[in-house]
């Protein structure tokens, strides 16, 4: 006997629905496995510091970032940096805040809306390479070229090159101030967007929305 949602084997009957649910379950399971690993194996001192920064940002600036999960269940907070006269020489572009550190991509070559599409699955590999380059560089804060494949609706897969580096918000007071400014700005913008969406939804009935569509 079935209820319409599940088939006689207890599986979701509709293939599209089953695929949607599977796509939602995959990052959740990966995240669970990563958190379990952190408890069982432990974290390095640097990872503990980075996660502490992430947790504070999630609490203090809940509308300032986009949260992502990579295939291994590691969380990434993506912050779109808005340049101002005050921070234009500091952090700029887009930040990927992770347990392994903060990857900064420069917006000098590409607009921020392009950088935000930086593939989640290569963030941690890029961080590893940036750390190696920084460790053996005379100027650890220098930018390095980062290449990745991007899909363009008109031209297909294209190789994109951007400038990136590790942002040191722990050891550099100026960069930390710039990060705070950017988070504050994004929090204000995010909260305003949320309020605008809520107000618009409340002001319009579902019948009106359906009629408009």
Domain region containing 21: 1-42
Residues 13 and 89 in one domain: no
| pTM score, whole prediction | 0.76
Residues 91 and 142 in one domain: yes
Residues 29 and 58 in one domain: no
Task: Write down the pLDDT at residue 213.
Answer: 79
Residues 119 and 172 in one domain: yes
Residues 100 and 178 in one domain: yes
Task: Write down the pLDDT at residue 38.
Answer: 87
Residues 21 and 51 in one domain: no
Question: Cβ neighbours of residue 157 under 8 Å, at least 6 residues apart?
Answer: 149, 150, 151
What are the strands of the beta sheet with 75-80, ordered from one edge? 66-69, 75-80, 94-98, 101-105, 156-167, 144-152
Task: Write down the pLDDT at residue 96.
Answer: 94
Tens of each residue's pLDDT in the chain, 213 residues: 456 677 776 676 767 767 766 666 777 888 888 889 889 999 999 999 999 999 999 999 999 999 999 888 999 999 988 655 454 444 568 899 999 999 988 866 566 677 777 888 889 988 988 888 777 776 666 788 888 777 666 666 777 788 888 888 988 898 898 889 889 989 999 999 888 887 776 666 777 777 777
């Amino acid at each position: 006997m079935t209820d319409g949602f599940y088939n006689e084997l207890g599986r979701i009957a509709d293939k599209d629905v089953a695929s949607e649910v599977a796509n939602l379950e995959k990052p959740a399971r990966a995240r669970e496995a990563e958190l379990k690993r952190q408890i069982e194996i432990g974290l390095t001192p640097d990872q503990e510091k980075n996660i502490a920064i992430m947790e504070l940002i999630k609490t203090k600036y809940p509308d300032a970032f986009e949260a992502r999960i990579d295939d291994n269940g590691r969380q990434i907070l993506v912050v779109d940096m808005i340049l101002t006269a005050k921070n234009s020489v500091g952090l700029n572009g887009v930040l990927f805040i992770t347990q392994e550190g903060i990857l900064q991509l420069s917006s000098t070559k590409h607009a921020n809306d392009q950088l935000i599409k930086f593939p989640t699955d290569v963030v941690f590999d890029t961080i590893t390479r940036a750390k190696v380059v920084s460790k053996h560089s005379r100027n650890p804060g220098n930018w390095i070229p980062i290449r990745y494949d991007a899909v363009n609706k008109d031209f297909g897969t294209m190789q994109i090159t951007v400038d990136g580096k590790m942002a040191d918000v722990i050891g550099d007071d100026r960069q930390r101030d710039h990060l705070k400014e950017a988070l504050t700005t994004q929090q204000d913008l995010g909260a305003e967007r949320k309020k605008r969406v809520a107000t618009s939804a409340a002001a319009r009935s579902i019948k009106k929305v359906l009629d408009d569509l």
